[in-house]
Chain A
Amino acid sequence: MSEIKTFASNNIEEIIAAIKTQNTSLMIFFYGADNDYKQLESKIAPHNITYLGCMDAGRLISGKYLLDEKSIVGLSFPKDVIEDVVVDAVDMSAQRTNDAICDDSHDKLVKAAERMGIVLARPDMEREFAINLLCGLNSANAFLAGQSRAGLMLQTAGGSSGGKTDFKVTNVISSAVSGNVGAFALIRLTKDYKFLLDRISSFDKVENTILNVTKLAGPRHIVELNNKPAAQAYCEAVGIKADELNTDTFANYTLGIEPGDEERLITSIMTKDDDSGLLTYNDVVLGTQFQLYKAKSQKQDRARGLEKLKGKSVVAFVSFDCILCYLARNTLHEVQAIAEVYERALPEVPKLGFGTFSENICGANVNQTETFLALYKA
């Protein structure tokens, strides 16, 4: 049996040489913001690989986080694990409408499923799934809505690409199309393997703080919460004065909704607008009943989240972990401590991940969360 392999380097050719075999089915790459995606593409092209990847602001490889802007990490899956895969991509450039992105995402997933013989209405819930790497300069919601329309029960996980903190340049690469695109890999595992997708966030509920969205100026622009200026209502819920509001407040006190069974779909606040409204990192619908949450250390929740994998013979772990979680770890000096949480829970398991500018799981775009994919022996 061939192995699942990971490797990190500043040189993509070194990575491919280290992880590619004659038996490789799919490769995933995450790269720092100093890498030119066209150069990466041109170096990958001669190897005739099915792949996807994206720019990020930090990445995970077994045992450590790389927070520089030069390095690249790669992971290869052999055909013994991935029986069949189709990679395709949707143009997500700024001039495209949400409807066009949604339709394209729907049509390309349907086409990929037809090519693989996957019945999207009834996918194999243990062996068929998709990984999404989406251009972080555009909202992921339209892309995800298209996928949900194509096959609600197809499980998906992934994240949106990042880069430098000025957030002017980011991109996605794939064996289909690269650039400002959303790429997906539709995957069927061999009968010897299964998968598990899940999400982890680290917040305590602030009791009795429901903030109803009563006025919006756009999908990411909240004007009023509980019929009051949004910033005022938020400050009252947090328990601070308006002039004390700053970026740390937004990092520490976030919003979310609860679909049930302790699930939390987090929407983070980016900043205050020029008046008294709030801008968010995620699309919001009018009438949303936001719960307020307070951030806490990630160590315990990460360890608890990984307990779901206990007793399973995990062979690979892919992490799509919010860049805000990366930054929080830096602030709390927990970077290595969290990397070790993963090593303790999944010793010697190949791991790969990146700092996302929003994460997705099963049609939902979320913030300040890690979504993950684990493959294990059946």
Chain B
Amino acid sequence: MELYDWLLALHVLSAFAWIAALVIYSVLVAALWRTSLPSDVVRLFRVSRAGDALTAVGMIGTIVFGIWLALDEYEIWDGWIIAALALWIVAAAIGGRTGATYKVVNDRARSLVADGEDAPSSEFAALARSSRGLVLHVAGSLVTLAILVVMVYKPGA
């Protein structure tokens, strides 16, 4: 196997880690809409730690090995590579905002559990079922799907 083969494999495995993180977050977002107890929400957010680790590995791996591949095999100024890089930046920005939105929910759930107020409440349910969080998560997932489409079709290559 040559360097290109290893770089491609690591790039693809990183992309799988990134998409796996999005799948975990999708299940958690759906689960939050069906969960009303703060202690259950705290429990769900423990699972999100796996998603956080995969996001870090996936996003760093795709950009590092992707740029390395581009320099090794393609031209970094190819249109489809520029498009993928731009979409990566958009996905990272949206991901940051999504994380901040759901961190508020996690912090509130932890605080309620710590205060012994582990009962369903309409105020907490409204926070957990944040439409802003849902919209941001869907937008981030669509941008990631767009990156996958660009990677497969390589328009202009």
Tell me if chain B binds chain A. Answer: no
List residues of A whose CB falls within 8 A of some B CB.
none
